[in-house]
Chains A and B, each alone.
Chain A
């Protein structure tokens, strides 16, 4: 899975180029076809209904669209590998797109200005998409790669990451795969981070254990890009809102009775986005 991700990363510029070139080609074809048609209209004067698509042609195109869809699904099911899969899928869907706008939406036979208007907006949209994805740099294939914990916090063992977190691209430095994480240690302090490896809305470790009755210094280290906080609502415990790159701490008096409690980021929406973990009292 890690390798799949890496290949995808390596090929993402290529995919971008394929999309760009495909769109440019589609535009050229439409443009050219229009020019030719207009020339023909000028020379033939009136009778232009000749090159107008007939219902038979429409049905044939539907057949082609169906065939392409079947090929797409088959290609996905037989799993030819990410490297080929993505360019193939993008090209096939671009062809379908071209047939529908060219024939069904009549752009191929209509006035050039309509094509310019629509393709202008389409390219603008593709540009916006490229910019958004480039800015956030997170276009990745979902995989079951487990968040790799870089254990820079000396004293702590690593605990288990329970939820199937996914690695995000951009930060591919960690390649140690599945690592069991721990939480507590003898020194009585415990560090929980957020924003680890670029996953903004998750705690690492997401599962920690502490001993009943002891007092634990809880350190919340926010490695993300926005403010978060750390709270155990059922115990009335909280570390106040911590800005990106900052950390905060507070002492938790662990109850004497064993139990399991959720810890969350209490900023609205963050818990729902995945900032929830469990603290087990032994």
Chain B
């Protein structure tokens, strides 16, 4: 196996860091899976409103889902650029990805503000509790991802992200795409299905 990023020899011939990232993402599936099923089980148990149908704005959330999807595109473009040795484009796409991630977070912040204004808080009812815990947990993932992207950008500017260590960016990319696919699931199950 030829691999441009082999840290040291492993029994599988695969880089341990990449394996670690995949195992971590697999375990994160379980975390999100539990939160999503808790939401599904509990959302209709609330005795008091507001309820999902009262406050969700599908079009608004579709736009933020779209923003996050597009950030996955800019992420792969950034990695592809680094693998070609094109540092200028690596940085441009990295910044674009971080920017889209920040837009998503801003959108979520605004959405939460609107919901709270309409009377849904973490403690209003069990729908609010499970909804905010699930989407807040995802938002935290996005925020961590944005920090990782910005540190990659910083490393690139300082010349510490050479073509030979593109695996570092690939790992950040895997995490970022994972955050995106989790949102694909949340968007469908939490937002689209109830209406």
Interface set of A (CB-CB < 8 Å, partner B): 46, 53-55, 58-59, 61-62, 65-66, 69, 72-73, 76-77, 85-86, 89-90, 92-93, 96-97, 100-101, 103-106, 111, 113-114, 117-118, 120-122, 124-126, 128-129, 132-133, 136, 138-142, 144, 163-168, 199-203, 206, 272-276
Contact = CB atoms under 8 A, between A and B. Distances in A.
Contacts of B77: 55, 58
Given A58-B76, A139-B40, A272-B123, A128 B30 contact: yes
9 contacts: A69-B69, A73-B59, A73-B192, A97-B181, A100-B180, A117-B23, A124-B29, A166-B51, A206-B47
Contacts of B25: 118, 121
B188 A90 contact: yes
Contact of B14 (A113, A138, A200, A203): A113
Among A92, A114, A165, A275, the most chain B Cβ lie within 10 Å of the Cβ of A114
B125 A273 contact: yes
B49 A164 contact: yes
Question: Which 4 residue pairs across A and B have the least CB separation, nearest first?
Answer: A121-B26, A274-B47, A202-B47, A125-B33
Contact of B45 (A58, A111, A163, A200): A200
B75 A104 contact: yes
| Residues of B contacting A: mostly | helix
Contacts of A276: 47-48
Nearest to B122: A272
A125 to B, nearest CB: 3
Contact of B174 (A46, A65, A105): A105
Contacts of A104: 72-73, 75-76, 173, 177, 180
Nearest to A79: B195
A142 B47 contact: no
B41 interface: yes
B19 interface: yes
A135 to B, nearest CB: 9
Interface of B: 2, 12-14, 18-19, 22-23, 25-27, 29-30, 32-34, 36-38, 40-49, 51-53, 58-59, 62, 65-66, 69-70, 72-73, 75-77, 80, 123-126, 129, 170, 173-174, 177-178, 180-181, 184-185, 187-188, 192-195
Contacts of B26: 117-118, 120-122, 124
A65 to B, nearest CB: 5
Given A58-B76, A121-B23, A125-B29, A76 B47 contact: no
B30 A125 contact: yes
A92 B75 CA distance: 23
A133 B37 contact: yes
A72 B59 CA distance: 11
Given A132-B37, A138-B44, A113 B69 contact: no
B29 to A, nearest CB: 4
A138 B41 CA distance: 5
B46 A128 contact: no
Given A142-B44, A164-B49, A121 B30 contact: yes
